[in-house]
Structure 1
């Protein structure tokens, strides 16, 4: 029985549709514990590939007979070999095409909603990394916000809907993933915008994204209003799009809040973070739909695969927005931090233009989960 590849897109559909799947992950235990494919109805078995070199007989009783089985490894090769062995034992199995590398890089476009005068807003869900990026489309023009380094996805998607990319934004200087903003701007002639307080060390030209500066997309009334909201970084900037959507960057997530320590400034920036969340955001309409730059857990996905929730609901449900005592808040965001993102200093330097690692190195730098939130 020939083993079949299963693509990252096919696995993503199973995650969104809450289908069942049994994953046999043959990476080393530490890699599996650090980062794995997550789904609400997924079951797992982690057996390192080297433990299966003599055969799979000893794990046959641990594998289901009534559930799809997907074998996963880092790059694909080991999972094909194990899947072949399981197939020889009579099981119908698949392997993850491209391995966890492909899982890390897959972007799933999801339409979030319609805007005034015929515009549209799309969210690109990087399901394996938890990154979220956006495309605002109006009257044949498009703006991209917080893009990943998989720049072809955005460029091809814009072409498919007959839109020209005219503006590219980063809400802040990212530390957990490499931005594709500058590359997209160079390839399309679009204007690249950065918050100047995060861009003091960058080596390239950019437009300063400052509080109150509006950028019009298309010939419609759709404006992107910049809202200065420091805390995750000193220059972090949010956007209000079409008076309906709040693109919160890494300041506010659905289930958590941004961490203030990725430039080594946690004690200094925690006050800015509180000011942004408890004063600036509090003054905004509860009806704004929050669209963050990351999600932390798979349960944050809505039934259509999007990650979005009204600001009022977050003020009612998100623990990070309901800590009245400032000392307790300060303690939460400085003492409950997950490990730093992999290679985050190198990622920051790449996003500043100070270093230019090749594609394989960039891929290696990004491997693993995002760690932009306070736990």
Structure 2
């Protein structure tokens, strides 16, 4: 029987630097579509399983002791691990394969906030996506930008005695399928999505958040205030938590800006992005923690395991010191890579315009996000 490692165990081992190597035995197209990545780089080889068995002894010899073998569902990798074990090489198989890794959500608390509010950043390493639970233990909480795997949010809320009162999507996402509408309906709570991102009409129950709206978490001194920040999309909102943390969606990242071209309005939205950053964000406290909806590379994960920055750091970036709007727009628009072909379809799903079969949804919901403009925030 081969040794195995769970996705959560693998997540922590990557962070510890204790994974010597990945041997990914999927076909090349599957490997390139969704690689296993974490907070530290891990040497990776892709050898399709049929080739492993063609040269079993040679591939075994090339594989490092303690390596993790990866396939789609965990069956092929377990078979490889067993055969390598018979040849004297101890490796482990990833339980559930990349299917299980794609569903993994790991909560990391953002500490040092004014009591009694608490904020947890849920990291989805398969897509480098971030979602959040914001709440007061023993009272209420909200879930922001949720994935299709709701149980980790509900488990955390239950652990801290919190009742979910609102579900929020900061914008219509283009890179992954949102779990927001379904989760809100299941819980019987209000859902909030900017209607501007849906062509003005949201076809499922929704209460748009107006600029300055407040979501009460149950304690008078704790507020979550909405802020309209168009740029990545026409309707993007951010949530300012107790004047300490800004859940900013895809407006800015630790090292980048949200790409403005995914709705076909690149130049117009680039101007909106410039105004949002300079007119809405700059007046806030420079020590405001910026909590984005994505990360692009492992070096954006700090020593506490969080993907966050401060507003002060955002405004030391070369690009955001650019005061001339037209120069800013030119730099952003001319640097944009082509968006993945699936992004238009994903946006239509999240806007409630189409409803593909579940197996097609599963396919759309894999692969790393590409929501950042390629012009990074140079330090």
Alignment TM-score, normalising by the size of structure 2: 0.92
Between the aligned partners of 2:196 and 2:329, the Cα distance in structure 1 is 23
Determine the C-alpha separation between the residues in 1 that align with 2:91 and 2:318: 41
User: Which residue does 2:15 correspond to in 1?
Assistant: 16
CA apart distance, 1:365: 0.6
Structure 2 residue aligned with 1:347: 346
Structure 1 counterpart of 2:43: 43
Gapped runs of 5+ residues in structure 1? none
Paired residues in the alignment total: 371
Moved over 6 A (4+): none
Aligned partners of 1:363, 1:334: CA distance in 2, in Å?
31
1:270 aligns with 2:270: yes
Task: Give the whole-Å Cα distance in 2 for the aligned partners of 1:329 and 1:252.
Answer: 14
Q: Pairwise CA RMSD of aligned residues?
A: 1.9
Q: How far off is 1:263 after superposition?
A: 1.3
Q: Is the 8 A contact 1:248 1:293 kept in 2?
A: yes
1:251-290 map, 5 Å:
251-290=251-290
Superposition map of 1:304-323 within 5 A: 304-316=304-316, 318-323=317-322
Cα offset, 1:327, TM superposition: 4.0
The answer as to whether partners of 1:342 and 1:366 remain within 8 angstroms in 2 is no
The superposition leaves residues 17-48 of structure 1 with CA deviations (integer Å, 9 ceiling, x where unpaired) of 33343100112334334431224251111112
Q: Is the 8 A contact 2:245 2:291 kept in 1?
A: yes
Structure-2 residue corresponding to 1:125: 123
Q: 1:91 to 1:183 in 2, by over 3 A?
A: same
Q: Find the aligned partners of 1:82 and 1:49 in 2 and give their Cα distance.
A: 8
Once the two structures are superposed, residues 186-228 of structure 1 have per-residue CA deviations (whole angstroms, 9 ceiling, x without a partner) of: 1112111122322423211211111111121113321111111
The 2-side partners of 1:329 and 1:360 are apart by: 41
Counterpart of 1:76 in structure 2 is 74
Report how far residue 275 of structure 1 moved. 1.2
Moved more, 332-341 or 223-232: 332-341
- Offset at residue 56 of structure 1 (A): 1.7
Q: In the alignment, is the contact (CA less than 8 A) between 1:21 and 1:41 conserved in 2? A: no
Structure-1-length-normalised TM-score: 0.93
Q: Distance in 2 between matches of 1:49 and 1:339?
A: 32
Q: Using the alignment, how far apart are the partners of 1:27 and 1:342 within structure 2?
A: 22
Quote the Cα distance in structure 1 between the aligned partners of 2:218 and 2:26. Answer: 48
Deviates more, 1:98-107 or 1:47-56: 47-56
Distance change in 2, residues 1:95/1:323 (3 Å) = farther
Q: How far apart are the structure 1 equivalents of 2:261 and 2:363?
A: 22
Q: Which residue of 1 aligns with 2:204?
A: 204
The aligned residue for residue 187 of structure 1 is: 186
Is the 1:270–1:330 Cα contact (8 Å) retained in structure 2?
yes
With over 3 angstroms needed to count, the CA separation of the structure-2 counterparts of 1:47 and 1:191, relative to structure 1, is: same
Aligned to 1:93: 91
Q: How does 1:153-168 map to 2 (within 5 A)?
A: 153-168=152-167
1:124 Cα shift? 0.6
2:37–2:125 CA contact under 8 A, matched in 1: no
> CA, structure 1 residues 185+41, in 2 after alignment: closer, same or farther (shift >3 Å)?
closer
Please state whether the residue corresponding to 2:283 is helix, strand or coil.
Answer: coil
SS in 2 for 1:5: strand
Counterpart of 1:291 in 2: which secondary structure?
Answer: strand
Q: Which residue is 2:377 aligned to? A: none
Name the SS of the counterpart of 2:78 in structure 1. Answer: helix
Shift of 1:137: 1.0
- Please list the CA deviations of residues 107-142 of structure 1 after superposition, one character each: whole Å capped at 9, or x if unmatched: 001111254442211111111111111111124111
- What residue is the counterpart of 2:215 in the other structure? 215
